[in-house]
Amino acid sequence: MLLELKLRKIGNSVGVILPKEALSHLQADEGDAVTLTEGTDGRLLLSSQKTAVSEQMRIAKDIMQRYRNTLRELAK
């Protein structure tokens, strides 16, 4: 799927309006969270953020924060 999107001014920010086809492909709807990540080839990847993944990321960040010294030592 190749879609050309336009950047639009929204208040003091700039946003992208996603067409229905893109929302359907992402299985996302208005108000859902999406993530924008950089792929290994430098491309930007947009994906829908499911609630379970969001919770797992929150738990992982908490563990990394609590055990940061241990993880730092293990990384040596």
- Domain assignment of residue 67, yes or no: yes
Give the pLDDT mean for 1-26: 91
Q: Nearest-5° angle of CA 48, CA 53, CA 55?
A: 130
**Predicted local distance difference test score (pLDDT) of residue 71:** 92
Residue 2, domain member (yes or no):
no
Token pair for 16: 């992208």
Which CATH number does the domain housing residue 33 bear?
2.10.260
pLDDT in tens, 15-64: 999 999 988 888 888 888 888 889 889 999 888 876 667 778 889 999 99
Element (H, E) at 62: helix 51-66
Question: Considering its fold, how many domains does the chain have in total?
Answer: 1
The residue-averaged pLDDT of 2-26 equals: 91
Output the pLDDT for position 51.
61
Does residue 20 lie within any of the structural domains? yes
Domain assignment present for residue 33? The answer is: yes
* pLDDT on residue 66: 94
Domain range enclosing 57: 7-75
Examine residue 1 and state whether it is found in any structural domain, yes or no.
no
Pair 22, 35: CB distance under 8 Å = no
